[in-house]
Amino acid sequence: MRIARYGGGLPFAAAIVVALLWSGSGMASAVDLAAAEAQFHKSCGTCHTVEANAPLRQGPNLRGVIGRKAASLPGFAYSDALKAAGGKGLVWTPDKIDQWITDAGKFIPGVNMMYHQADPAKRQLVIQYLESVSK
């Protein structure tokens, strides 16, 4: 079998350039944190808080949720369905949260969060806000 040794690096370099261009264009769309926070309070604030040590609401505290294992906050009574998902290794990334808030009951059937948001722009704002309180 012949392995092409020459030029093998070129497509790779091109891929990096493309990746850089993509992330560059993403950063150009300025993150409006005030709008993101307002959207969070509107969409999620009835049931969730991000204040440290705040009393529990209907849903778990979402401070630091990005990178957190699902159903892992001590003291919150999660559904068996969400606990099972966490047990199988579900960790909340921006992408997973996007799928979750698109339709929580569809993403993980049997959970206690009845929520769906069809507007990708609103989901993106909420996720940006969660990222800002997860650093």
Chain residues in the site for ligand HEC (CB under 6 A): 43-44, 46-48, 58-60, 62, 65, 70-71, 73, 78-79, 81-82, 92, 97, 100-101, 111-115, 117, 126
Least Å distance, CB 33 to ligand HEC, is 16
Q: Which is nearer to ligand HEC, 43 or 128 (CB)?
A: 43
Least Å distance, CB 100 to ligand HEC, is 6
d(CA 35, CA 94): 18
Q: Which is nearer to ligand HEC, 36 or 111 (CB)?
A: 111
The DSSP 8-state label assigned to residue 94 in this structure reads H
Q: Which is nearer to ligand HEC, 5 or 135 (CB)?
A: 135
The DSSP 8-state label assigned to residue 91 in this structure reads B
Least Å distance, CB 17 to ligand HEC, is 34
Task: Give the residue carrying structure tokens 């704002």.
Answer: 125
| Residue 76 near residue 60, CB atoms below 8 Å | yes
Least Å distance, CB 64 to ligand HEC, is 10
Q: Which of 135, 129, 134 is nearest to 33 (CA)?
A: 129
Q: Which is nearer to ligand HEC, 36 or 44 (CB)?
A: 44
d(CA 110, CA 51): 27
Q: Which of 115, 121, 118, 110 is nearest to 79 (CA)?
A: 110
